[in-house]
Amino acid sequence: MAKVIDGKAISQMIKDEVKQKTEALKQEGIEICLAVIQVGNDPASTVYVGNKKKACAYTGIHSKSYELPEETTEEELLHLINMLNQDASVNGILVQLPLPAHINEDTVIQNISPDKDVDGFHPQSVGRLSIGQRGFLSCTPAGIIQLLKRSNIEIEGKECVVIGRSNIVGKPMAMLLLRENGTVTVCHSRTKNLKEICRRADILVAAVGKPKMIDSSYVKQDAVVIDVGVHRNENNKLCGDVDYDSVFPIAGYITPVPGGVGPMTIAMLMNNCLEAALMQNGK
């Protein structure tokens, strides 16, 4: 039977650590500020942005909100980003994705100053991660490393299998596990004998995007199973990429949905804002 990794409790610990350090910086006269930009009003994005602003309020980070209409042009958005890049009182810039179809996301991400790239999506942040330099880490995979470390799960020398190769989760997850000296395999939609490869994993990270696809037939006895997926099932209940009921009896550790990986993303965003302020102040 698996031990359940409590992402809610671990994310709370991280937010409390950020809050403490943010208060200490305030004593030195340094206030942390995150600019949050949303273009249009995609309902899911509105919920995410709301949760990010709430976490800022909790940790003592000032959030500046920019809610732009759907018709905003790429040029207007780039103009705002450029102003925020130059504004020394702003430490981090977050542009909520997805953007409307007429705006090129790559162009927008590349125009955020790498020093303020708290999402860790800028090519410079991605490059730094892959060559082992200090930089901003994509929040969800960075949160997964924290879940493992704070549950005393060793990564070094372990067979780690990541299912999914997105720029936001799969690829940075693989790089982070490699940095922790795991032996990493990345699987994707064209992978042959996926099940066989997954069954080798000591640590299995599922970021497939298919509800409950990973059942016990993909999992080795006592493996650590990390579920990045968030879906609504037929009864409107949240579920992940992992078939929890099937995997729970044989896994060593498992993350639930909700309450596993999800809350970690925002906690790590807060940590990246703190990192940004520290770096910009030469600390």
Give 63 or 220: the residue with its C-beta nearer to ligand GUN.
Answer: 63
Residues 130-149 touching ligand GUN, rule: CB under 6 A, are 139
Count helices and strands in the chain by DSSP H and E runs: 10, 11
Select the span of 54-62, 91-99, 172-180, 274-282 touching ligand GUN (CB under 6 A): 91-99
Q: Does 80 bind ligand GUN (CB under 6 A)?
A: no
Residue 131 structure tokens: 């060559």
Give 119 or 275: the residue with its C-beta nearer to ligand GUN.
Answer: 119
Choice from 2, 10, 81, 94 touching ligand GUN (CB under 6 A): 94
Select the span of 12-20, 62-70, 88-96, 228-236 touching ligand GUN (CB under 6 A): 88-96
Q: Are strands 231-232 and 238-239 parallel, antiparallel or unpaired?
A: antiparallel
The CA distance from 245 to 268, in Å, is: 28
Catalytic: 96?
Answer: yes
Distance of CA 271 to the CA centre of its chain: 11
Residue 138 structure tokens: 């994509």
Residues 246-265 touching ligand GUN, rule: CB under 6 A, are 265
Q: Does 96 bind ligand GUN (CB under 6 A)?
A: yes
Residue count at the site for ligand GUN (CB under 6 A)? 7
Helices 7-27/262-280 angle, 10° precision: 20
Residue 278, burial from CB neighbour count under 10 angstroms (0-12, 13-18, 19+): middle
Residue 57 structure tokens: 């309020």
Q: Does 78 bind ligand GUN (CB under 6 A)?
A: no
- Which residues form the catalytic set? 52, 96, 119
Residues of the shown chain interacting with ligand GUN in the complex, contacts defined by CB under 6 A: 94-97, 119, 139, 265
